[in-house]
Structure formats: structure tokens, C-alpha cells
Amino acid sequence: MELLPYLISRSVEENTASSYFQYFSKWQKWTEQLENVKAIPADSLYLTIYLINLLQIGKAYPGIRMSFYAVKYFNKFSENRKEDFFLAEKTLEGIKRVTQYTSESKSPIKSKHLKQIFILLGGMKINLFNLRTFLIMLLSFMGFLRFSEVVNIRRSDIIFKKGYLMIFLEKSKTDVYRKGHWIYITKLQTEICPLKLTRKYLKLAKIEENSNDFIFRGVSKTTQGWKLRKVDKAISYTSVRELILKNLKNIGLDSKKFGVHSLRSGGASAAANLGVEDRLFKKHGRWKSEKVKDNYVRESVKTKLKVSQNLGL
């Protein structure tokens, strides 16, 4: 039974698994202090008491919420579970109201922002350091890519075709069986063309076609300019976030309103507002459900007005 939480955690995306396992372990330690109380299968009453205890010792709502969902996730695989967590779930809702917690979603990055950043970074004279940042942003925007997907792209995952680019995602949050997923990104008749800029980046970075290395790695400044580091380690989340927010600030935006995920939501919002077919939209973004997909989309005023404009009056 001690091995069960670890095995279950392997069924989800690595970052999610790490968070769930961390919060579940704390719940498990808490239950071990009580007689005849088990972590799996969990008792809704004791889970409720646990959540209240977290509130009383000063834990913030996001952490309490993660604790609840971590326990719920691991317990849904238990054959001995006899009840749902209705009491604990309602208690969690009460904690949210009591703490007056509000979740502020980040604003989506728009295509015009990418155009402004490209010009600011040097346009077609862009150097390796700046091109690395911009290409991460461009591919994330056009491919609806999560951070973990874009930074794990290897040279062997990229195939150039006539008129489009194919990128194989070996790992995806919704791909629990690790079958992988191909995304297709079109050629553009502008300077901000993903095919043209990807080729330029690979050439500047001196990444060979037969290489299996991560394409987005650390860079070093030399007397000849920027150089991609040989260590096959993907660039960190902290570095990417800092570079993206810095560029958004440089074009006059409030960087506090944006995050790395703003690129995925930005691309999704742009596609939705231009009327991309829902089935293709969902498949391109690798969403498992309509509800999750809709959370990424910010409709424009023009799109919102379509409802009242088409009521037959």
C-alpha cells in the first residue's frame, strides 16, 4: 500500500504528480498520528477536520485546496472507498469564502505584442540570445504550448515540410499514456514566420539536423557573440518567465498581469475569436474537456456582440 501513491502519481504529468504527491504525503503523516485513520481510503469527516486544521494553523487557501484535491485524486483509485467527499468539499468552499480568496487569471498575450517584441529585439537582425526567447514565445503562442512542452522540444522532434512545421511533443499533460502528439504550425508570409525563424535559430545555435539535444538551452556570451551551451539541459522555468516578463515590460505592458501561460491562452483566444472550428481548436490545444478548453479563451468584444447581433430582431 505504501507504493500505491507513488505508482498512481506516475499516471499524470510530472509537475502535477510532484505537487499531488507532496500534499498527499503531508495528509498521510497527519493520519498516522491518529488511531484507525487511514490515508487511503480516506474518511470524509477526517479529511474535513484536516482541512480545518490547515486553516487554523494559518495555511493559505491555495495550499488547502491542493491538499483536498491531492487526497481526492489518490483516493479515487481505491477499491475500498465507500463515499464521496461531499462534507470536505463544502468545507473547502466555506474556507474559500471565509478567506475571501479570489483567483486572478493572467491576461493573454496578443499577436500585436509579439510583433512589437520582435521589432524591439532586432527584427531579422536578432541575435541568438533574443531569438531563443522570441522563438519560445512564438511557438508557444502558435502551438498553444505549455511551458513543459515547449522547453522539452528536441531537434529530433522537429520536421520541416513544404509550407508548415511539424513538432512532436513526447510529453503532454493530457497524454497520460505517453503516446506523444504532433502539432502543425503553418508558414507565414511575414518576417515573423515560425519556419524561417526556427531554421535561423538552429543555424545560429549550431544544432545539427541529426541531433537529439534540447534546442532551448542555456547560452553564454563570448567574444564572437552568443553561444549555446553544450550541456544537454533545457532552460529553466524561472529564466523563461523572467525573459518574457522583461520583454512585455519593455513594450509598455504591466508585466504583473502576465505569465508564461499567457502565451498558450493568447494563441487560443486569437484562434477562438477568428472562428477556428471547435474540433480542430480543441485537438490543436490537446484539451481533454470543453470546460478546461473554455477557461483559456478570452473573447473579444466583437465576438461577444455576435450573440446579440444574431437574435433575429
Q: Inform me whether the pLDDT recorded for 128 exceeds 90.
A: yes
pLDDT for the residue 8? 54
What 8-state DSSP symbol labels residue 217?
A: B
- Identity of the amino acid at 244: I
Give the rounded distance of the alpha carbon of 169 from its chain centre: 13
Contacts of 54 (CB under 8 A, 6+ apart): 63, 64, 67
pLDDT for the residue 265? 87
Report the chain's mean pLDDT, rounded to a whole number. 84
Domain covering 4-99 in this structure, CATH number: 1.10.150
| pLDDT tens column, 87-122 | 999 999 999 888 887 666 788 999 999 999 999 999
Cis peptide before 108 (omega within 30 of 0): no
Q: What would the grid cell of residue 78 be?
A: 481505491
pLDDT for the residue 56? 92
Q: What would the grid cell of residue 88 be?
A: 470536505
Radius of gyration of the chain (CA): 23
Q: Where are the domains of the chain?
A: 4-99, 111-302
Q: Inform me whether the pLDDT recorded for 14 exceeds 60.
A: no
Domain covering 111-302 in this structure, CATH number: 1.10.443.10
